[in-house]
Structure 1
Amino acid sequence: MSTGNLSAAQRNGEGKRPFRQAATILREMLNDPEKIVVCPGVYDGFTARIALDIGFDALYMTGAGTAASRIGAPDLGIINMTEMAANASMIAGLDWSVPVIADADTGFGSSLSAARTAKTYIEGNVAALHIEDQAFIKRCGHLRNKELVPLDTYLTRIRAASMAREASGRDLVIIARTDSLQSLGFDEAIRRLKAAHEAGADVAFFEGLVSKEQAREAVKALAPIPCLLNIVHGGVTPVISAKEAKEMGFKIIIWSILSLAEVYNSTRRAMKELRDTGLVTEREDKAGGIYDVFSVVGINQFAEFDAAAGGVTLKGGF
């Protein structure tokens, strides 16, 4: 292949960022006593690109958003592991320096399935996954009447993911999630998360906390295990800022359906306007046009790369 259009530095590999595994980057964030990891929920390449363009240093791939966008279905365990992992690895591949935390539901079956899930996420350079203690046919953590598996079954999932991580020779941050608060109570939820930590989980995810006082109590009861807080629009957990969550002792805060909710609101509003009036009013600041969309998904970087490779895909501009 000709390298005539490449600079000497490019041909010699100078200026390249050395590859660092996403899980390693995330662990450094978790070990920083001054930092809380703030993750906007994204569900596809476009919403992930917007978050990266804004400047977030970590992302969260929502399972609910993945199910809604990829198969048009609710978060009821309908989407499978292959579909979830493909979405997570695609998002993780947009910028290797920005770790992605991804939903992995229940591990998608037996201990063997949980191990395969962990291995597949690792191969996609996903930084972290969370596995929950719901029955295989699960539902969103902020819905009622969730069915739970026995503690031993839950720990088998966590242990299997940890064993798969060890066997891979690579890293993955394993987040143990419990949905047991509603049916089994606070103390049992704490017991499950502590046991999951002993089985190999790195971070505790106490889903469905119903008050700020309960959130503080959970962090205190689980110390020194790092804890994740999930903020869901319209969910049971009160809205808590990143600053307040950090003061409570949380190490990660995810706004899991942020993109999903915003797309719902803005798209529905525009579509209703089109239905009712026959047009959609352009924003006064002209934002959101086709060139803005192409820019956020990297058309300038693609053009530069293509030119450096000797291509003519975008010769003459766009």
Structure 2
Amino acid sequence: MAQQNGVKPVTAVQKLRNMLADPDKIVVCPGVYDGYLARIALLEGADCLYMTGAGTTMAKLGMADMGVATMNDMRDNAAMIASISPTTPLIADADTGYGGTIMVGRTVTSYIRAGVAGLHLEDQVVTKRCGHLKGKQLVEEDEFVSRIRAATIARQQSGGDIVIIARTDALQSLGYDAAISRLKAAVEAGADAAFLEGINTREQAEQLIKELDGTPCLFNNVPGGVSPDFSVQEAKEIGYKIAIYPCLGIEVVYPAIKKACRQLFDGGKVESVEKDGKRWSPRELFEVCGLNESMEFDRQAGGSAYLTDA
């Protein structure tokens, strides 16, 4: 990153660490899975983004979140999203790390080089499933800890930085005590933050924060899942430092596109996607994705393609 006036700009990962260190801050991350959603979230004021693994699998592969996305699928999507605003932190799902310790190390290094500010690694088997589905299978605690240890070693050897978030799905099948044991062991191995998936009650969440005193904890808001639908304010009051909303885009896009398709197929015309009684023009939609900035860049470089307004 280029220096300005002799001062090195703060990197995205350092911004994320600063946010986590701020006692009055909760990091709120809208879930995005493509560049268009990321652009919209940024225009609306997001200061941190979350790349959802479920959304990436659905959007890029057209498949449910059943462990079918590869490291390359996830890394490439994360790199694209991170590149849109390189100084805005992006936290990205890294699933199980996609293999043994060597592969976990490769995944972490790849995410660092892709510009990702934070990632989470979980304790499911490689053929994983969404954390809010039943029947999840877990690796032993020692194997989970080895994944976290591999991540911290890879981070150190890379010469870069990334916030490592340890996620456990043990609550459903092994119980609260086993889940806490795994998170504490992961933090001891070098994880920066903890993520207990599938929290059941506010009391359980408060107990988590108490037991992991000093370790930033992440809340995963999945409406219709197994956890309470905490608002940002509620999550902050409980003591969470990060709140991710992975279904934000998935949930609202489905009914909107479904409705528009029904209007087209049943009535021959889309009527609903309007603002102030008018449809959105291509120009307005392209502006969401940096049309004006791209045209100005071309002009500054001496290009002639956009001397007249588009």
Shorter-chain TM-score: what band? Answer: over 0.9
Alignment-derived partner of residue 115 in structure 1: 105
CA distance in 2, matches of 1:201, 1:30: 14
Q: In the alignment, which of 300, 306, 309 is matched to residue 314 of structure 1?
A: 306
Kindly provide the amino acid, as one letter, of the partner of residue 39 in structure 2. Answer: R
Alignment-derived partner of residue 5 in structure 1: none
Instruction: Report the alpha carbon displacement of residue 170 of structure 1 after superposing the two structures with TM.
Output: 1.3
CA distance in 1, matches of 2:240, 2:103: 30
- Deviation digits for residues 63-100 of structure 1 (CA, Å, limit 9, x no counterpart): 00111111111111101001100111111111111100
Kindly provide the amino acid, as one letter, of the partner of residue 315 in structure 1. Answer: L
Alignment-derived partner of residue 274 in structure 2: 283
Q: In the alignment, which of 288, 302, 308 is matched to residue 296 of structure 1?
A: 288
Alignment-derived partner of residue 209 in structure 1: 199
Kindly provide the amino acid, as one letter, of the partner of residue 123 in structure 1. Answer: R
Alignment-derived partner of residue 234 in structure 2: 244
Paired residues for 1:171-250 under 5 Å: 171-250=161-240
Instruction: Report the alpha carbon displacement of residue 289 of structure 1 after superposing the two structures with TM.
Output: 3.2
CA distance in 2, matches of 1:304, 1:146: 50
- Deviation digits for residues 286-318 of structure 1 (CA, Å, limit 9, x no counterpart): 364322210110001111111000112222111
| Partner SS state of residue 96, structure 1 | coil
CA distance in 2, matches of 1:272, 1:283: 16
Alignment-derived partner of residue 3 in structure 1: none
Gaps of 5+ in 2: none
Instruction: Report the alpha carbon displacement of residue 129 of structure 1 after superposing the two structures with TM.
Output: 0.5
Kindly provide the amino acid, as one letter, of the partner of residue 307 in structure 2. Answer: K
CA distance in 1, matches of 2:201, 2:283: 43
Q: 1:225 to 1:214 in 2, by over 3 A?
A: same
Instruction: Report the alpha carbon displacement of residue 17 of structure 1 after superposing the two structures with TM.
Output: 8.7
Paired residues for 1:113-152 under 5 Å: 113-152=103-142
CA distance in 1, matches of 2:275, 2:71: 43
CA distance in 2, matches of 1:60, 1:111: 24
CA distance in 1, matches of 2:168, 2:284: 40
Kindly provide the amino acid, as one letter, of the partner of residue 283 in structure 1. Answer: E
Instruction: Report the alpha carbon displacement of residue 202 of structure 1 after superposing the two structures with TM.
Output: 0.4
The RMSD of aligned alpha carbons is 1.5
The higher-RCO structure (CA 8 Å, 6+ apart) is 1
The question of 1:77 aligning with 2:67 is answered yes
Instruction: Report the alpha carbon displacement of residue 18 of structure 1 after superposing the two structures with TM.
Output: 4.5
| Partner SS state of residue 84, structure 2 | coil
Gaps of 5+ in 1: 1-12
Alignment-derived partner of residue 58 in structure 2: 68
Kindly provide the amino acid, as one letter, of the partner of residue 40 in structure 1. Answer: P
Q: Which moved more, 1:279-288 or 1:208-217?
A: 279-288
Paired residues for 1:40-59 under 5 Å: 40-59=30-49
Instruction: Report the alpha carbon displacement of residue 210 of structure 1 after superposing the two structures with TM.
Output: 1.6
Alignment-derived partner of residue 266 in structure 1: 256
Q: 1:177 to 1:287 in 2, by over 3 A?
A: farther
Instruction: Report the alpha carbon displacement of residue 284 of structure 1 after superposing the two structures with TM.
Output: 4.5
Instruction: Report the alpha carbon displacement of residue 127 of structure 1 after superposing the two structures with TM.
Output: 0.2
User: What is the number of equivalent residue pairs in this alignment?
Assistant: 306
Q: 1:16 to 1:271 in 2, by over 3 A?
A: farther
Alignment-derived partner of residue 167 in structure 1: 157
Q: 1:131 to 1:194 in 2, by over 3 A?
A: same
CA distance in 1, matches of 2:219, 2:196: 7
CA distance in 2, matches of 1:274, 1:15: 55
| Partner SS state of residue 274, structure 2 | coil
Amino-acid identity (%) = 51
The question of 1:305 aligning with 2:297 is answered yes
Instruction: Report the alpha carbon displacement of residue 150 of structure 1 after superposing the two structures with TM.
Output: 0.2
Q: Which moved more, 1:265-274 or 1:104-113?
A: 265-274
The question of 1:34 aligning with 2:4 is answered no
CA distance in 2, matches of 1:222, 1:312: 58
Instruction: Report the alpha carbon displacement of residue 165 of structure 1 after superposing the two structures with TM.
Output: 0.3
Instruction: Report the alpha carbon displacement of residue 266 of structure 1 after superposing the two structures with TM.
Output: 0.8
CA distance in 2, matches of 1:278, 1:265: 18
The question of 1:87 aligning with 2:77 is answered yes
